[in-house]
């Protein structure tokens, strides 16, 4: 698939259509360049890859800047994600990448800034976060919670965050 519009903040159809039309085993490759994004982008399909070396997604809405990875065994690779926000937010959609599912990989992704966490993993099973570079988030660089299991964080760097570099928490009360 080729992405024609680089303004995903107003061109909902182009991005959603491209992401939702992917079939298992297919890739969506973003050409090098900057893409303006003003809402959450959802990768819901199983076994798909979204990649974009030298492609930068620039967020324009602090509370709607996430790439939401829920498709089992899906992969996000090679993108640069530039966040926005000057006040720390608590919503999941204010994170740069949300991982909620099984077998999801986030590989060689660069995250610069953002109103909350860089990568937010909740209810993830068998997750790989490898070679990622995260800086300047207003909350944790990587936040793992929600009963997530078997999460690999390898060869990644986290700097200049507003909270923990890597946070692993349950938020469940001891009984």
pLDDT tens track for 40-58? 999 999 999 999 999 999 9
Q: Which residue has the higher pLDDT, 18 or 85?
A: 85
Q: In the beta sheet, which residues pair with residue 80?
A: 56, 110
Helix ranges, 114-174 (H): none
Question: Do the beta carbons of residue 17 and residue 29 sit within 8 Å?
Answer: no
pLDDT of residue 173: 65
SS3 assignment for 59-127: ECCCCCCCEEECCCCCEEECCEEECCCCCCCCCHHHCCEEECCECCEEECCEEEEECCCCEEEECCEEE
pLDDT at 21 over 90: no
Q: H-helix or E-strand containing 16?
A: helix 12-20
Record the pTM.
Answer: 0.91
Question: Regarding predicted confidence, which is higher, 15 or 164?
Answer: 164
């Amino acid at each position: 698939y080729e992405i024609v519009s680089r303004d995903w903040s107003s061109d909902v159809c182009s991005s959603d259509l491209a992401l939702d039309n992917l079939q298992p085993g297919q890739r969506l490759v973003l050409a090098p360049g900057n893409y303006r994004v003003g809402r959450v982008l959802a990768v819901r399909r199983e076994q798909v890859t979204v990649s974009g070396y030298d492609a930068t997604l620039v967020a324009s809405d602090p509370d709607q800047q996430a790439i939401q990875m829920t498709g089992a065994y899906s992969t996000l690779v090679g993108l640069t994600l530039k966040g926005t926000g000057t006040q720390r937010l608590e919503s999941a959609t204010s994170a740069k990448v949300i991982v909620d599912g099984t077998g999801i990989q986030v590989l060689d992704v660069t995250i610069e800034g953002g109103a909350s966490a860089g990568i937010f993993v909740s209810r993830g099973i068998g997750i790989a976060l490898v070679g990622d570079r995260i800086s300047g988030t207003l909350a944790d660089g990587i936040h793992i919670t929600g009963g997530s299991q078997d999460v690999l964080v390898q060869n990644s760097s986290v700097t200049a965050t507003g909270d923990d570099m890597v946070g692993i928490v349950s938020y469940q009360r001891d009984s």
